[in-house]
């Protein structure tokens, strides 16, 4: 009898396997993008990463069905999906800041949704218990708390820092990026000091206009469900840097491939992007761009529950880890460990496709 019961359980598959909620998946994708944008705002580097993620955020928020206003007050009888809708405020506020160029200090009406999102997150965590071993709730709380500080005029990211970061990204989108990570943008007349806007209201009681145009280039059509999508970069990207024309054109090609892989949310294509950047080891920014591409590859594979491609991304990260770390990339070992933890979690939950 015991053997028969065991056979039935094995045929039925893993007991812990669950079908992830589409709303949860959407929130996870938004959270990953918000975390990348937050990191790039603090350290914009050459502007390429922030410029790319900024456009991805615009595309994502235009295509989302979520309402911009917060949901009704949190109640114990609300479903998980209803509670998850509250977490859309993360992407909404960053969309308002980096694309609509609204200072956090002027988002008090929208920021009221942060309190509701905190309540929703608490309820979701209490319901999940020990069955959800992902770091989604922890990361969402960190980003919510950061936005709460920004809206209150606190935190490390000042208005001036954000405006400088977006200026770097705007110049990268216009084909005039910084000379390298940590550098200031190169203007039409060559390198020079960047004018930082005031951090408070002007004499008329209004914040000054952004230091660069807030108009974003037209978005490409919505990508198909499978395969990469052609993506047109802003004029001037081919002349990306002051280095040789061959290198500049290759950098523009890698960035175009990155945009296409991002529009298609393709983990496989993102691994190809990393390989593209890895061919440019003579350019000082190759390691940071390779790290970001592999980070996105692991994120996309995790969202798609594609354990094989997730493993491929981890292997590629380990293969390139030593030269990347020597060239200024972040903690590559920790990034690989995170990907491995995600893969083990998907396997143990029986969610690998």
**Could you report the per-residue pLDDT of 25-68, keeping only the tens digit for each?**
999 999 999 999 999 988 888 888 998 899 899 888 776 555 44
> DSSP label at 113?
H
pTM of the model: 0.74
What is the C-alpha separation between 177 and 185, in angstroms, rounded? 6
Which residues make beta-bridge pairs with 190? 187
Residue with tokens 């997150």: 121
Q: Name the nearest CA neighbour of 124 among 24, 30, 35, 19.
A: 24
Instruction: Collect the ranges in the chain with pLDDT lower than 50.
Output: 1-17, 67-70, 72, 180-246
Instruction: Indicate the domain borders of the chain.
Output: 21-159, 235-353
What is the C-alpha separation between 302 and 101, in angstroms, rounded? 31
The per-residue pLDDT for 206 is: 29
The per-residue pLDDT for 173 is: 72
The per-residue pLDDT for 197 is: 33
Q: Name the nearest CA neighbour of 318 among 332, 338, 298.
A: 332
Which residues make beta-bridge pairs with 191? 186
Six-digit token pair at 141?
């709380």
> DSSP label at 186?
E
What is the C-alpha separation between 240 and 289, in angstroms, rounded? 14
């Amino acid at each position: 009898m015991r053997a028969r019961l065991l056979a039935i359980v094995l045929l039925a598959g893993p007991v812990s396997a669950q079908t992830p909620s589409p709303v949860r998946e959407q929130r996870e994708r938004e959270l990953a993008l918000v975390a990348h944008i937050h990191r790039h705002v603090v350290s914009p580097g050459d502007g390429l990463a922030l410029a790319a993620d900024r456009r991805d955020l615009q595309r994502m928020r235009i295509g989302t069905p979520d309402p911009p206003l917060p949901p009704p007050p949190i109640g114990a009888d609300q479903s998980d999906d209803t509670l998850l809708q509250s977490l859309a405020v993360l992407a909404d506020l960053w969309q308002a800041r980096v694309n609509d160029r609204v200072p956090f200090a002027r988002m008090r009406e929208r920021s009221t949704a942060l309190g509701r999102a905190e309540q929703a997150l608490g309820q979701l965590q209490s319901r999940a218990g020990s069955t959800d071993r992902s770091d989604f709730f922890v990361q969402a709380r960190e980003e919510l708390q950061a936005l709460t500080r920004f809206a209150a005029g606190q935190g490390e990211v000042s208005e001036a820092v954000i405006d400088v970061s977006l200026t770097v990204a705007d110049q990268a989108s216009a084909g005039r990026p910084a000379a390298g990570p940590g550098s200031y943008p190169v203007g039409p007349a060559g390198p020079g000091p960047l004018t930082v806007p005031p951090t408070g209201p002007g004499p008329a009681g209004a914040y000054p206009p952004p230091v660069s145009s807030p108009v974003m280039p037209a978005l490409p059509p919505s990508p198909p469900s499978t395969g990469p999508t052609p993506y047109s970069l802003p004029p001037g990207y081919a002349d990306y840097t002051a280095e040789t024309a061959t290198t500049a054109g290759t950098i523009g090609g890698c960035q175009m491939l990155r945009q296409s892989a991002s529009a298609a949310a393709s983990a496989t294509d993102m691994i190809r992007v990393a390989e593209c950047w890895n061919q440019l080891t003579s350019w000082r920014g190759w390691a940071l761009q390779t790290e970001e591409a592999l980070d996105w590859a692991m994120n996309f594979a995790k969202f798609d529950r594609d354990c094989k491609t997730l493993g491929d991304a981890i292997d590629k990260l380990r293969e390139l880890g030593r030269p990347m770390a020597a060239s200024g990339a972040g903690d590559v070992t920790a990034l690989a460990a995170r990907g491995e933890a995600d893969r083990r979690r998907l396997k143990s939950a029986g969610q690998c496709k």
